[in-house]
């Protein structure tokens, strides 16, 4: 990719979501806004190599897209009042090759409106994820479908239905009022974390990690933090993502095999991401109650601070998991606490807790319960029981990289029986 193409691509990555949000606010149409913005970037590909990269690329794209949008509104004879408003506002803009950025931000940034619109509770969760990646992330339908291992027509229909639902249900393009903010903001964070998790540990397929989804989720989390500075949970979510993602390159071996946390080469961890995350956690006021994503980030931070596996403060991690479980009771959190207790107080202590969780039946279909139980049994030398637990984990695992890891463990304990 030459320098000019790289600059256009960089402008696309950095400005798509912000310009798209503004176009949607002006036009009231996801489809017309997207079409206009795509045409503006296509025009840039044609014009910039001849005229040179404009000093303010975002302004150039914005002006070109708004003009394309006006043309579309005129052609289709829709939203006449919106079209007239757009023409009056755009009349003050210079031609694209001369313009100075002048698109006024509304009192609340358009991107914040767009995030809450994409994650409206009236939309199915799958639609929220797809629409967020498409409109704010600028990922193509094919890219999103490929990331989630869906046929492209299926993903395209999901996005179409979400847009139609927004239109038909008259879902407002707005940030919710204070009374609805906590619930809606929690949904936004949930969607971003699901996107990250699918990238960090893919549920299906042969790839353990999809870096593009991790990067996009982190970018959107940064955006959320910048739009809502001071929100403790948003900062915690970003810190958690950065800490987990910092280990990405160390999680796979040369042949793509899974490398567990305790076996990873910690010199491969991204020190800059860790520094930023630790700074975020350090900046949180001590006199405020701690929240879910903050606590999860503080757990990940304990691993990041340990130069070696044996230096890990497992007692501190177990304490943080206990605090997290009190805040958000969950058998998965209880399982993680049990593993931490096993490492802090001895394998039998943790295994007793895992056996109790298993007996409840709540996590019977959760492969990590059986994998964790198998690992502790292996460490105790109870290889026959470990083999049985590894087989159960294998039955429930759908990621091929994780399946190969569990198979290696199963083969190892089977040889000791």
Q: What CATH number does the domain containing 80 carry?
A: 1.10.1740
Helices 331-345/314-327 angle, 10° precision: 160
The alpha carbon dihedral of 17, 18, 22, 25 has a sign of: positive
Same domain, 114 and 208: yes
**44-81: burial string, b at 16+ Cβ within 10 Å, e else:** beeebeeeeebeebebbbbbbbbbbbbebbeeeeebee
Q: What is the pLDDT of residue 108?
A: 53
Same domain, 77 and 163: no
Same domain, 234 and 334: no
| DSSP for residue 171 | -
CA 97 to chain centre: 36
Indicate whether 149 belongs to any domain: yes
Q: Which residues pair with 252 in a beta bridge?
A: 258
Same domain, 307 and 355: no
Domain encompassing residue 65: 3-90
How many angstroms separate the CA atoms of 174 and 243, rounded?
A: 32
Q: Which residues pair with 399 in a beta bridge?
A: 205
pTM over 0.75: yes
Indicate whether 96 belongs to any domain: no
Q: What is the pLDDT of residue 98?
A: 40
Same domain, 35 and 110: no
Helical ranges in 140-246 per DSSP H: 141-147, 152-168, 181-200, 211-227, 232-245
How many angstroms separate the CA atoms of 297 and 240, rounded?
A: 4
Same domain, 82 and 113: no
Could you list the pLDDT tens digit for every one of the 417 residues in the chain? 556 777 888 888 888 888 999 999 888 889 999 999 999 999 999 989 888 889 899 899 999 999 998 888 777 664 455 555 555 545 444 444 443 333 444 535 788 889 899 999 999 989 998 999 899 888 888 888 877 778 999 999 999 999 999 989 988 888 888 788 887 898 899 999 988 987 887 554 555 456 777 888 898 899 899 888 889 999 999 999 999 999 999 998 988 888 999 999 999 999 999 999 999 999 998 888 899 999 999 999 999 999 999 999 999 999 999 999 999 999 999 999 999 999 999 999 999 999 999 999 999 999 999 999 999 999 999 999 999 999 999 999 988 889 999 999 999 999 998
Same domain, 355 and 405: no
Indicate whether 294 belongs to any domain: yes
| DSSP for residue 264 | S
The answer to whether the beta carbons of residues 148 and 212 sit under 8 Å apart is no
Determine the length of the chain. Answer: 417
Indicate whether 101 belongs to any domain: no
Indicate whether 98 belongs to any domain: no
Q: What is the pLDDT of residue 88?
A: 53
Same domain, 221 and 234: no
Residue ranges with strand state E in 281-354: none
Q: What is the pLDDT of residue 95?
A: 41
Same domain, 141 and 189: yes
Same domain, 141 and 220: yes
Same domain, 110 and 221: yes
Q: What is the pLDDT of residue 97?
A: 42
| C-alpha distance from residue 381 to each of 218, 375, 416 (Å) | 41, 10, 9
Indicate whether 185 belongs to any domain: yes
The answer to whether the beta carbons of residues 167 and 123 sit under 8 Å apart is no
In the numeric block, the tokens 């997207």 are attached to 34
Q: Which of 218, 37, 26 is nearest to 135 (CA)?
A: 37
Same domain, 114 and 202: yes
Stretch (H or E) spanning 310: none
What is the number of structural domains in the chain? 5
**204-223: burial string, b at 16+ Cβ within 10 Å, e else:** eeebbbbeebbbbbbbbbeb
Indicate whether 97 belongs to any domain: no
Indicate whether 78 belongs to any domain: yes
Q: CB neighbours of 34 closer than 8 A, spacing ≥ 6?
A: 20, 134, 135
Q: Which of 356, 365, 409 is nearest to 383 (CA)?
A: 409
């Amino acid at each position: 990719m030459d320098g000019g193409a790289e600059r256009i691509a960089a402008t696309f990555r950095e400005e798509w979501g912000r310009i798209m949000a503004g176009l949607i606010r002006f036009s009231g149409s996801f489809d017309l806004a997207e079409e206009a913005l795509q045409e503006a970037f296509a025009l840039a590909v044609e014009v910039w190599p001849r005229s040179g990269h404009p000093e303010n690329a975002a302004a150039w794209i914005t002006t070109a897209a708004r003009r394309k949008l006006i043309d579309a509104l005129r052609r289709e004879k829709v939203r006449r009042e919106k079209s007239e408003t757009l023409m009056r506002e755009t009349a003050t803009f210079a031609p694209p090759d001369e313009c100075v950025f002048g698109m006024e931000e509304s009192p609340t940034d358009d991107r914040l409106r767009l995030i809450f619109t994409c994650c409206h509770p009236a939309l199915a969760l799958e639609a929220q994820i797809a629409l967020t990646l498409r409109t704010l992330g600028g990922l193509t339908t094919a890219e999103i479908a490929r990331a989630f291992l869906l046929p492209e027509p299926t993903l395209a229909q999901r996005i179409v239905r979400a847009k139609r639902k927004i239109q038909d249900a008259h879902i407002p393009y707005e940030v919710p009022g204070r009374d609805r903010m906590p619930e809606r903001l929690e949904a936004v964070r949930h969607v971003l974390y699901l996107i990250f998790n699918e990238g960090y540990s893919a549920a299906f397929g042969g790839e353990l990690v999809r870096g593009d989804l991790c990067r996009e989720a982190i970018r959107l989390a940064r955006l959320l933090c910048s739009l809502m500075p001071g929100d403790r949970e948003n900062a915690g979510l970003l810190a958690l993502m950065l800490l987990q993602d910092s280990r990405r390159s160390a999680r796979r071996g040369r042949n793509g095999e899974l490398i567990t946390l305790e076996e990873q080469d910690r010199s491969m961890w991204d020190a800059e991401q860790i520094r930023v995350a630790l700074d975020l956690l350090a900046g949180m006021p001590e006199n405020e109650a701690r929240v879910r994503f903050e606590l999860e980030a503080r757990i990940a931070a304990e691993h990041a601070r340990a130069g070696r596996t044996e230096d890990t403060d497992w007692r501190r991690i177990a304490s943080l998991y206990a605090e997290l479980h009190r805040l958000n009771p969950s058998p998965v959190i209880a399982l993680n606490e049990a593993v931490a207790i096993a490492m802090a107080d001895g394998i039998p202590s943790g295994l007793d807790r895992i056996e109790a969780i298993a007996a409840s039946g709540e996590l019977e279909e959760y492969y990590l319960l059986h994998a964790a139980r198998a690992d502790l049994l292996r460490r105790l030398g109870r290889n026959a029981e470990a083999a049985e637990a590894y087989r159960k984990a294998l039955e429930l695992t759908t990621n091929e990289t994780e399946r190969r890891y569990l198979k290696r463990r199963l083969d190892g304990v089977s040889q000791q029986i």
